[in-house]
């Protein structure tokens, strides 16, 4: 995914959870991005807030959000049924951006122009850029209203090597018994050329296949 596409998905949600580390504990608050450019994603905070000092100290952040989706009803098992939607999360490195940078960008970018007005109104305000990050979009349709499987997961990265691995795979211990295939409610396990394999873009990492397999043939990648 390109940075403009990532920004659009974040901006569609609007209010996101921004988490930093204070000492050894994570601290969260709600904030939003106001624009992006070729160097990263931008948000603002005040220099007097704990958020600011945590950003300056650790230079690390984790962000997540969920598109508008409500618990609409319950099924026969009294389990909630959700509208389709998506969640997004990213983890990355932050850096403070100078007022001069915002001022210059404001000449050509409406997001920066608005930020400039805000900073002029509230002088304790400052701007941060997330300059390198990895993340994921988790697009869900749990009732399979719009497609045949529940999930589409897409990893993305910006400004750094994508060394982020996750998920579940089938290893060489597999005896092709098919127990995992029958168990997977996400339709993430396929049978191709005489072998079972897992499509990580559809896998929820729910662990049902791991529990079902009696041959120690499911590997958890983390």
Residues binding ligand SF4 (CB under 6 A): 168, 170, 174-180, 183-184, 186, 188-189, 196, 198, 203-209, 212-213, 215, 217-218
Instruction: Find the shortest distance in angstroms from Cβ 137 to ligand SF4.
Output: 17
Give the nearer residue to ligand SF4 in terms of CB position, either 63 or 203: 203
Q: Distance between CA 94 and CA 91 in Å, rounded?
A: 10
Taking the least distance from each CB to ligand SF4, the nearer of 131 and 169 is: 169
Q: Closer to ligand SF4 at the Cβ: 19 or 201?
A: 201
**Closer residue to ligand SF4 in complex, CB, 56/212:** 212
Nearer to ligand SF4, 119 or 137 (CB): 137
Minimum CB–partner distance for residue 198 and ligand SF4 (Å): 5
E strands in the chain = 16-22, 25-31, 33-37, 40-46, 60-66, 71-74, 80-82, 85-97, 125-140, 151-158, 167-170, 189-192, 195-198, 218-221
DSSP designation for 176: -
The partner residues of 152 in beta bridges, in order of sequence, read: 139
Give min distance, CB of 144 to ligand SF4, in A. Answer: 14
Distance in Å, CB of 167 to ligand SF4, minimum = 7
Instruction: Give the residues across from 154 on adjacent strands.
Output: 137
Give residue 94's region: left, alpha or beta (phi > 0; psi -120 to 50).
beta
Q: Which has the closest alpha carbon to 184: 147, 149, 151, 209?
A: 209
CB of 197 to ligand SF4, least distance (A): 9
């Amino acid at each position: 995914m390109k940075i403009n596409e990532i920004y659009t998905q974040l901006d569609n949600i609007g209010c996101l959870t921004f988490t930093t580390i204070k000492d050894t504990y994570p601290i969260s608050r709600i904030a939003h991005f106001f624009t992006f450019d070729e160097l990263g994603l931008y948000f603002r905070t005040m220099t007097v807030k704990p958020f600011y000092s945590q950003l300056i100290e650790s230079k690390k952040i984790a962000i997540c959000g969920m598109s508008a989706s409500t618990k609409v009803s319950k099924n026969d098992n009294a389990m909630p049924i959700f509208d389709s939607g998506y969640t997004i999360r990213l983890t990355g490195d932050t850096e403070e951006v100078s007022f001069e940078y915002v001022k210059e960008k404001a000449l050509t970018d409406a997001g920066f122009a608005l930020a400039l007005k805000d900073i002029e109104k509230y002088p304790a305000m400052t701007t941060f850029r997330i300059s390198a990050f990895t993340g994921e979009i988790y697009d869900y349709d749990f009732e399979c209203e719009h497609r045949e499987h529940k999930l589409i997961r897409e990893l993305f990265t910006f400004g750094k090597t994508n060394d982020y691995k996750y998920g579940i795979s089938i290893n060489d211990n597999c005896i092709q018994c098919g127990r995992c295939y029958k168990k997977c409610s996400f339709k993430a396990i396929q049978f191709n050329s005489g072998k079972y394999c897992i499509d990580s873009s559809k896998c929820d990492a729910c662990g049902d296949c791991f529990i079902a397999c009696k041959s120690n043939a499911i590997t958890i990648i983390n």
